[in-house]
Structure formats: structure tokens, C-alpha cells
Structure 1
Amino acid sequence: MTKLTLLCLPYSGASAMVYSRWRRQLPSWMQLQPVELPGRGARYDEPLQIDMRALARQLARELKPTLQTPYALFGHSLGALLACELAHAFRDLGAPEAVALFASGTAAPSMRSDYDRGFAEARSDEELIDQLRTFQGTSEEVLANQELMSLTLPVLRADFMMCGRFTPVERPLLNCPVHVLGGKEDRATTEQLIGWSKETLGSFSVDMMTGGHFFIHEHEARVIRTLKSHLEVHHRRHALSAAPAL
């Protein structure tokens, strides 16, 4: 039976390895494909990018030759914006559209003027560390580790600038369903999350969970159950369409 590929885009400052634990929890019909970004992980030697659409076009060109269908896109925070841009970049290259886009933990593309205020220019190390503290996902021990921070902060700085310089553009809407995940104590407002509904002609839903910005780690099992429940419908439909006629 054909598997459904889940392409996962990381959040600011992170490597795609943040999703590696998910493999053990996904059902057999789902295949995890974390997408590594330039400047981190196995792509550490590549230059960091601060242009969201240029990065999406680059990733689409890299992924399209081996793109397994059906596929869905998931991204958290920066990764959600990038997943949306990747969906458009795939379409521009003539690739099949995703069966679903999951946007987690961030304001919609059209509602970012307040959300990203002040991020367009490079932040100092101290400002970046203060920002990490507000996200409550990094221990003080890690923040005090100068060697680790020297590797993390340049990536984080570029990623924040990429978000801060992002501007929405007029273009045809996506056709796939858009499912949004939000943390009840995160800084993305309900209005900013519902704004994702403007990105598609397809169906739309919002799932709210307790917790702050990193609710996807606090409630990992629930996040995966949510993805599974939304994608099961598409998987069954695809399986039926692929079955030989009797």
C-alpha cells in the first residue's frame, strides 16, 4: 500500500532532527520526511537564508525529483510559513498539490505586521537569548553554554530576520485543507491563527492545546494523533482510488 509522506519543516534555530522522535509514533501508512534547511544539521556548511520565498523555491527544486505522493506538509512557527511557501513553490514547478497543510504555532501570513514587529533587522546575542527565554523552551543551562550558543544564535538570527522580512503576496489560493495547531498560552492570538483560513479554498480547522510556544513537544502524542486523524481520511480515499477494480 502506498504510504503518505509527511514533510516536516523546523522552527527558528532548529534542525529537522527535532522531528526524529516522531518516527516511532507514526502509523505504518505514514512516512516521516524531515526537511533540513541550509546552515544546520547535515547542511551546516551551506549559507543561511533570510529570504523565505527564495528558500522555498530552493527546497522545492531539491525535493521535487524524489517527491513521494501523496504527501502532506507540517511546519511549526517559522516552519509553518515555510511549509505554506513550499506548497506554492511545488505548484509553480508543476508538482502535485499536498493533501493537507498543517500550520502550527504562528500567525497567518496575512496577519504578521504586529507578530513580527522588530525582527526584520539583525538582533544582538543578548536580544536573541532574551527572546528564547520568552519562548520557555530552552533551559538556563543551555542559554549559559557559550559554545552551544555560538552555534545556535547565528541560525536563530537569520531565521528571525527571514520571518521579519516576510511579506504576503497576491496569488491563487491553495486548494488543500489547512489545519492549524495553536498553544493556548502562546503569543499567536486566536484571530491570527484563524487568519490561516484565508490561504486556501479547501477546508479549515483549528486545534488548540494547552501550553506555550513549544506545545508540540509538551503534547507530542496529541499532536501526532491530531495529524493522524486529519490525514486518515485522505489516506483511505487514496487507498480506495488505487485499489484494482474487481
Structure 2
Amino acid sequence: MDNLWFRCFGPPSESDDAVRLVCFPHAGGSASAYAPLARLLAPRIEVRAVQYPGRQDRRRETPAGDITELAGRIAERLRDPQGRPYALFGHSMGALLAYETARTLRSWGVPAPVRLFLSGRGAPSPVPPRSDVLPDDAAILNAVRSLGGTAAAALDDPELMEMALPALRADYRALAAYSWHPGDPLDVPVTVLTGRDDPVVTAADPARWAEHTRSGCEVRVFPGNHFYLDQQVAEVAEVLIGAVRPAAGR
């Protein structure tokens, strides 16, 4: 896989039957957010985390400002799965990107992922949620702090905050501009994951993802807030392993 766009934390799986899990970070996030999960999943599942332009070792690149366009650029690098089963996992903004990437791959006739994992995000609609439409840097910073997680703690450091702001601005601009365009539901089973106390995902939001697939949708609720994954990484790893196990060895 493209080493510019994807990071592998740990040794690649030597088995052709091992499922490859492509992970999409949250707004302002980077591929390294998935390093703890990757270590727990290896070697049964090989994690490849997407590194968006404009952060960490790609910080000199211009961040993407359009969800659908960015999904297309990622899909272009996934369109040849080489016969290996793969799944997509996205958290928050990453859930939208994983979903739109799956839609793009289907339009190209690429074999579908064995499962789509959508975390910390309600189903898309033609109108963006209020939490995505933020007028300025102050509103963005307040929103990130309210969500908790390691990113919120980093914003207390002025130098780290200045480094993070360009990517955050671009990501929230992309979220505010995103509008879901109707289309046929995917033929991919979906697992929705959410934190019980997530301030931007209501109790009813996860189930609405069922409207976007013909292959079944299950919802898993974990203790915690928007970044429940930080504290529940072992439990999430168990869910992922159980959900993709039937695909391994097909």
C-alpha cells in the first residue's frame, strides 16, 4: 500500500487470509491515533491507518477541504485490494470518510469491504449537524475541548495548538460543507460504535446508519464520551476481531 497515505504500526501480517483494517482518523487527528489499537489487533488483523495531508510528517501539505474529494483520493489508493479481505474503520469525521470511500469503491466496481465500522458519528444527512458548523478558531477550540480525549489536552500547549490549528480548520470546514447525496444503500454489513456519554451523538443517532446498508447494522455502546476508544481500546479490539473473523480464510 501507498506509504505516503497509510501507516502500518507493527509488522505486516504474513497471512494472505488476514483481514486488513483501514482506519480513518477524526478531525484534526493523525494516523498515530490508531497505534494502540493496531498493537492489540496484530497479527490477526493488520491495521493500516490513513495519514491525511496537513499533519505530522505531511504537515507541509495543504489539508483537504472536501470530504468527498478526500474520500476519492483515499479510494484511489485502495482500489486494488489484491484479493485480500479488508474492512474500514472510521471515527467521527473518519466515519464519514470511511463511508464515502466505500461508496466510491463500489462505483468503481472494486470488491466491497467485509465490514464497515463507524464510530462516534451519526448517520449522514443533507444538512450538517450543528456541531460541524463552527464560525471561527475559538469555536473550533471550544468544541475540541468539549469532546475530551488526548487532542483536547494538547491544546493547552500554545505551540502544539498552533501546529494543530491548520488541520482542524480545514477538517471543520470540510465537515460544514459536506452534504450527503442520496444513493443506493451499501451491500456491506455495518457495526456502529459509540460512547454512552458522547455529547455530539444522541442515543438515536447510531441506529440511523441502518438506512445506509442492505446487509445489516449492529450498534455497540461503550462507557465513555466521544473519545471512548482511548479508554476502551481492548474492548473495541475484541469487537473488531469477532466481527471480521468469519471473513478470514474465505
TM-score normalised per structure 2: 0.87
1:143 counterpart residue number:
155
Alignment of 1:1-246 (within 5 A): 1=15, 2-65=17-80, 69-110=84-125, 113-116=128-131, 118-119=133-134, 123-124=136-137, 126-138=138-150, 142-187=154-199, 188-235=201-248, 239=249, 241=250
When Rg is computed on C-alpha atoms for both structures, the one with the higher figure is 1
Partners in 2 of 1:142 and 1:70 — Cα distance? 36
Give the counterpart letter for 1:203 in structure 2.
G
Residue 110 of structure 1 and its aligned partner are, at CA, apart by: 2.5
Structure 2 unaligned spans of 5+: 1-14
Cα distance change on mapping 1:52 and 1:141 into 2, 3 Å: closer
SS at match of 1:64: coil
Residue 111 of structure 1 and its aligned partner are, at CA, apart by: 7.8
Partners in 1 of 2:79 and 2:92 — Cα distance? 23
Residue 146 of structure 1 and its aligned partner are, at CA, apart by: 1.5
SS at match of 1:191: coil
Give the counterpart letter for 1:216 in structure 2.
L
Partners in 1 of 2:236 and 2:81 — Cα distance? 27
Cα distance change on mapping 1:47 and 1:113 into 2, 3 Å: closer
SS at match of 1:133: helix
Give the counterpart letter for 2:197 in structure 1.
E
Q: Is contact 1:15–1:40 with CA below 8 Å preserved after alignment?
A: yes
Higher helix proportion (structure 1 or 2) = 1
SS at match of 1:32: strand
Cα distance change on mapping 1:67 and 1:190 into 2, 3 Å: farther
Cα distance change on mapping 1:117 and 1:32 into 2, 3 Å: closer
Partners in 1 of 2:153 and 2:116 — Cα distance? 35
TM-score normalised per structure 1: 0.88
Q: Is contact 1:116–1:163 with CA below 8 Å preserved after alignment?
A: no
Q: Is contact 1:8–1:75 with CA below 8 Å preserved after alignment?
A: yes
Partners in 1 of 2:146 and 2:179 — Cα distance? 24
Residue 41 of structure 1 and its aligned partner are, at CA, apart by: 2.7
SS at match of 1:96: coil
Partners in 2 of 1:41 and 1:139 — Cα distance? 14
Structure 1 unaligned spans of 5+: 242-246
Percent of aligned positions that are identical:
32
Cα distance change on mapping 1:189 and 1:4 into 2, 3 Å: same
Partners in 1 of 2:46 and 2:32 — Cα distance? 15
Deviates more, 1:94-103 or 1:22-31: 22-31
SS at match of 1:162: helix
Residue 64 of structure 1 and its aligned partner are, at CA, apart by: 2.2
Q: Is contact 1:181–1:208 with CA below 8 Å preserved after alignment?
A: yes
1:244 counterpart residue number:
none
